[in-house]
């Protein structure tokens, strides 16, 4: 096949995958926006804040179970997409690794719940939320992404998200239904993960035994990404925990609403890098990377301006006048969209594409350190949710500075 036709087909495939991923992100965000006003009024800010607080803690375990497999395994799948035997080894190795990490997580979570009064008092709710961690165990989205076939994955996840709406409206009516709400979210996610995993088997990929040495190799390769992921989670979710501990659960709900305001554009823009990665990683030239960075800079800056213009009415629609404090927080957080998108491009198309995994880990370690220092300064100077949001935003700016510096110095980009 001649080169122009091949390039056109590749571009079409990338566009299709981006379209499906974007459509899924829009559906997921819209479901959240449609359900949020109902849930926040029915459950109350305090109860919903408790859910968000416990979810923030449970997500630490999700990152531990994920262990950073997504990026390196997407790359493995993209480079072996025609070899069913190799795909079987990749999927099997990741599955066995994650099941082992689930077992370790349970050994940590149980005594943690027993030792911490707040978790012990909400043990049932925390257990229900913890089930969401199994979603990433059995659902190999990285496989679908590496195969450049996001159609089935996106449609399945959209159906699962949409199915949550009637269940919530039918079953959640008062603050005492918080556990029921958590069951709906966790149960539908778990169901989707099983269906997605079974579909991989139906494509001819087989689960096979793997050696401990192979599992160790995958975990070693993913360690840098695990450090990156857990640092990011500590940076973001610890902020939620700090808000809950220092200011109260209503402030947690305000911060959560501010994050929801930027959720749709953030998800849409992050999907750009995810859709481009399997294609760019096969030929990550300097010219291609620079072209991506130019376009992403323009798109993300326009997005920030859009949030500044439309964020206030969005807060009124979603949370009412009692939640207007979420608007300035959303404006501050909107700048993270720009920093994270461009940083993500450097991480995937420069560092990962050239096996510079250690720089990925160093980037997040520096970001976490700077965020905690900035948070301490902010809480000392002006203790508020604003200070928390500003600490996160400035640390993201620091990530971008580091990535640009290393890209030029080590990779000539």
Walk along the chain (413 residues) and give the pLDDT tens digit of each residue.
444 434 544 556 677 777 888 788 788 878 877 888 889 889 887 888 888 888 878 888 888 898 888 888 888 888 887 888 899 999 999 999 999 999 999 999 999 999 988 888 889 999 999 999 888 888 888 898 888 788 888 899 999 999 999 999 999 999 889 999 999 999 999 999 999 999 999 988 899 999 999 999 999 888 878 877 777 767 776 787 788 878 887 888 888 889 888 877 887 787 788 778 777 777 778 888 888 889 889 999 999 999 999 989 988 888 888 888 899 999 999 999 999 899 988 988 888 888 787 888 888 888 888 999 999 998 998 888 899 999 999 999 999 999 999 999 888 88
Helix axes 3-43, 151-171, angle to 10 degrees: 10
Distances (CA, A) of 365 to 32, 63, 160, 231, 335: 31, 15, 35, 6, 20
Tell me the CA end-to-end span of the chain in Å, nearest whole number: 31
Long-range contacts of 59-64 (CB under 8 A, 24+ apart): 59/233, 59/237, 60/230, 60/233, 60/234, 60/237, 61/105, 61/108, 61/109, 61/130, 61/133, 62/132, 62/133, 62/136, 63/226, 63/229, 63/230, 63/233, 64/101, 64/104, 64/105, 64/226, 64/230
Distances (CA, A) of 95 to 39, 73, 186, 206, 270: 35, 12, 20, 12, 25
- Measured CA to CA, the distance from residue 352 to residue 278 in angstroms comes to 11
Nearest to 67 by CA among 288, 260, 228: 228
Distances (CA, A) of 167 to 1, 185, 326: 50, 10, 28
DSSP letter, residue 281: T
- Residue 68 in 3-state DSSP? coil
- Measured CA to CA, the distance from residue 129 to residue 113 in angstroms comes to 13
């Amino acid at each position: 096949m001649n080169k122009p036709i091949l390039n056109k087909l590749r571009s079409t495939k990338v566009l299709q995958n981006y379209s499906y991923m974007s459509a899924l992100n829009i559906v997921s965000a819209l479901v959240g926006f449609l359900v949020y006003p109902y849930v926040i009024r029915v459950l109350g800010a305090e109860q919903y804040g408790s859910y968000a607080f416990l979810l923030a803690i449970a997500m630490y375990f999700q990152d531990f179970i994920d262990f950073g497999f997504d990026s390196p395994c997407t790359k493995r799948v993209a480079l072996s997409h025609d070899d069913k035997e190799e795909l079987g080894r990749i999927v099997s190795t990741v599955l066995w690794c994650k099941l082992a990490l689930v077992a370790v997580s349970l050994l940590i979570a149980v005594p943690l719940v027993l030792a911490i009064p707040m978790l012990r008092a909400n043990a049932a709710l925390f257990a229900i939320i913890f089930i969401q961690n199994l979603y990433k165990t059995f659902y190999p989205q990285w496989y679908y992404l590496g195969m450049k076939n996001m159609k089935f994955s996106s449609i399945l996840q959209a159906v699962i998200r949409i199915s949550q709406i009637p269940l919530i409206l039918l079953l959640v009516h008062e603050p005492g239904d918080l556990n029921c709400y958590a069951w709906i979210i966790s149960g539908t996610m778990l169901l989707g993960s099983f269906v997605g995993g079974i579909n991989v088997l139906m494509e001819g990929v087989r689960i096979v035994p793997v050696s401990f040495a192979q599992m160790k190799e995958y975990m070693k390769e993913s360690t840098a990404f695990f450090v990156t992921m857990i640092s990011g989670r500590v940076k973001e979710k610890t902020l939620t925990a700090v808000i809950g501990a220092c200011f109260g659960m209503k402030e947690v709900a305000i911060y959560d609403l501010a994050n929801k305001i930027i959720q749709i554009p953030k998800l849409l823009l992050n999907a750009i890098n995810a859709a481009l990665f399997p294609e760019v990683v096969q030929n990550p030239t300097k010219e291609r990377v620079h072209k991506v960075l130019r376009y992403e800079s323009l798109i993300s800056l326009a997005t920030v301006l859009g949030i500044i213009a439309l964020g206030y009415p969005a807060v009124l629609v979603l949370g009412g006048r009692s939640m207007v404090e979420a608007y300035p927080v959303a404006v501050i957080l909107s700048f993270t969209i720009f920093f994270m998108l461009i940083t993500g491009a450097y991480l995937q198309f420069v560092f990962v594409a050239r096996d510079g995994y250690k720089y990925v880990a160093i980037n997040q370690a520096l970001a976490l350190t700077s965020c905690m220092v900035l948070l301490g300064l902010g809480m000392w100077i002006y203790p508020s949710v604003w200070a928390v949001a500003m600490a996160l935003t400035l640390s993201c700016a620091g990530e971008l500075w580091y990535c640009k510096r290393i890209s030029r110095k080590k990779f000539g980009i």
